[in-house]
Amino acid sequence: MFIVPTLSEKRPQRKRVPPCYTVGYTRGMNTDAERLAVLKHRSYELLLANRRYAAAHQYTVPSPDTYPYQWLWDSCFHAIVLAHFNVDDAKKEMRSLISKQLGNGMIPHMIYWQRTAAIDIDWGRPDTSSITQPPLLSTAVRAIYEKDGDKEFLKEMYPAMYHFYNYFLTERDPRGNHLMSIINPDESGEDNSPRFDHAMRLPPRHTLNENFAKRVELIARNKTCNFDAPFCMKQHFWIKDVPFNAIFVQGLADLAHIADTIDMKEDALRYEARRTEVMGAMRDRMFKEGLFWTLEGPEYEIVPVKTWAVFSPLFARILTDEEASRLVNDTLLNESEFWAPWGVRTVSKTEPSYDPKGFWRGPVWFAVHWFLYRGLVEYGLFEPAEKIRNISLRLIEERGFFEQFHPETGEALGARNFTWGTLVVDMFERATGASARSGAEAAVSSSSSR
């Protein structure tokens, strides 16, 4: 997601984000209910401040200065949160996203509605990138539907979802082994994750510039094969990533539910069958000694780098209850590995690549917390789920809406006015329901006592 703004370019007018969006906005709040109300208010205000309009479409940028375009999974996050405030805005976010769907069904990971900054990577297309991102589309659409029960919206979105998920099944699994491949680290949403170091021929410790140079080289090779996924993965970068496949599994479950809701019964059965196949393949090929591992190359070799990816199958309920409990107790809550004073490290502290300030190489990210929270709640592991939710709230209150955070000190890192922090609203809404607040207020009290 690297963007290099040019100082000479005139930016469009945007709503100024007050300082209270960044830190300390709950000072003086007397009750837990007030704190939650302010959290929701400031989250919505940030989403409004980051809203943009172009070509009859409405979308939200992740950060006005650092990421001034539309991103695939970011828009899905935005829609999920917006549905708690204004369901029509959530629908508009999805409509703008699918409007740039390619003929083969792929949805690009970036859309350049307005050229407000220099794009440091040439993806070979004038108005979008040529790669995709984790398939959260149906998960976001289902979240919107659950707020207003609008079946017409599901029918409107269904063709795009059908072609999007079919694209992965046909183009990203050329061997028919039921695992989806990515052709570039950026498709994972975790551009610099050490899971990709070996495939990119990088050592565990390297600079941002070295990583960027390797990714640019890969993109140049992708261009030679016209970003044709089956060919590109065989020639240049063949990764079957755990979070990507876990998100795909959940996406198929949500798409099956949507298809059933609009009386596409045969499609629903087909999606459920594909979901079962992908889950089975993940367990057969990725699951070793209680952990899921990303795979590399045509021989599906395990990438032995321990990152938050080992927890991502919780999101799609791929683990058994016993496996989930063991994973959480032995690994997630292990302070020498992932559990830190300010949240969950994205890379185990025991890894040579661990860097508490490195991009996707150790810091805390709100999206990771959101995936973990949803998964833990699904397994009834409420205590660690509440810990993650409460730490997330503290980060916003004491540090602000930033891109990532130092797991040991809580230092805010990366882009300012970054929208992923608004996912904390969804955590509280899922915990309490739209009409109940007592549980959320108790959780805030718990976070206050830390």
DSSP, residue by residue, 299-352: TTEE----BGGGGGGGTTT-S-HHHHHHHIIIIIT-TTTTEETTEE-SB-TTST
Chosen domain end from 245, 276, 305? 305
One domain, residues 328 and 362: yes
Q: For residue 96, is it within any domain? A: yes
> pLDDT at position 8, please?
29
> pLDDT at position 236, please?
82
Give the residue among 43, 129, 58, 5 at the shortest CA–CA distance from 418: 43
E strand or H helix at 141 = helix 137-148
Among 28-42, 44-58, 289-303, whose mean pLDDT is lowest?
A: 28-42
One domain, residues 188 and 113: no
Q: For residue 221, is it within any domain? A: yes
One domain, residues 66 and 111: yes
Q: What pLDDT digit, counting tens, does each position of 110-130 carry? A: 999 987 666 777 888 889 999
One domain, residues 322 and 448: yes
One domain, residues 103 and 207: no
For 352-381, what is the mean pLDDT?
98
For residue 24, is pLDDT > 80?
no
> pLDDT at position 198, please?
97
One domain, residues 262 and 336: no
Give the residue among 429, 392, 423 at the shortest CA–CA distance from 62: 423
Q: For residue 147, is it within any domain? A: no
Residue 128 DSSP one-character state: B
Going by pLDDT thresholds of 50, 70 and 90, the confidence category of residue 30 is low
Q: For residue 153, is it within any domain? A: no
- For residue 99, the SS3 value is coil
Going by pLDDT thresholds of 50, 70 and 90, the confidence category of residue 224 is confident
For residue 27, is pLDDT > 60?
no
**pLDDT, averaged across the chain:** 90
- For residue 285, the SS3 value is helix
Q: What pLDDT digit, counting tens, does each position of 46-72 carry? A: 999 999 999 899 999 999 999 999 999
The total domain count for the chain is: 3
pTM (2 d.p.)? 0.90
Chosen domain end from 133, 156, 188? 133
For 32-36, what is the mean pLDDT?
82
Residue 4 DSSP one-character state: B
For residue 31, is pLDDT > 60?
yes
One domain, residues 440 and 331: yes
One domain, residues 247 and 323: no
> pLDDT at position 440, please?
44
Rounded CA separation 249/269 (Å):
14
For 397-411, what is the mean pLDDT?
98
Q: For residue 161, is it within any domain? A: no
Q: For residue 16, is it within any domain? A: no
Q: For residue 237, is it within any domain? A: yes
Give the residue among 114, 84, 119, 123 at the shortest CA–CA distance from 96: 114
Evaluate whether 143 touches 80 at the Cβ level (below 8 Å): yes
One domain, residues 248 and 289: yes
Residue 264 DSSP one-character state: -
- Percent residues over pLDDT 70 in the chain: 88
One domain, residues 332 and 362: yes
Residue 10 DSSP one-character state: P
> pLDDT at position 104, please?
96
Going by pLDDT thresholds of 50, 70 and 90, the confidence category of residue 229 is confident
One domain, residues 101 and 178: no
Chosen domain end from 254, 277, 305? 305
Each as own residue / partner, the long-range contacts of residues 400-404 (CB below 8 Å, 24 or more positions apart, any chain) are 400/21, 400/22, 400/23, 401/21, 401/22, 401/42, 401/46, 402/22, 403/63, 403/66, 403/365, 404/359, 404/363, 404/364, 404/365
Going by pLDDT thresholds of 50, 70 and 90, the confidence category of residue 9 is very low
Rounded CA separation 432/390 (Å):
14
CA distances from 90 to 128, 227, 265 (A): 21, 31, 26
For residue 271, is pLDDT > 80?
yes
Residue span of the structural domain in which 34 resides: 28-133
Rounded CA separation 112/110 (Å):
7
Q: What pLDDT digit, counting tens, does each position of 414-436 carry? A: 999 999 999 999 999 988 653 34
Buried b (16+ CB within 10 A) or exposed e, 317-334: bbbeeebbeebbeebbee
One domain, residues 189 and 231: yes
Tell the residue number behind the tokens 């390297």, with chain if given.
Answer: 206
Rounded CA separation 434/34 (Å):
16
Q: For residue 363, is it within any domain? A: yes
CA dihedral 372, 2, 92, 227 (to 10 degrees): -100
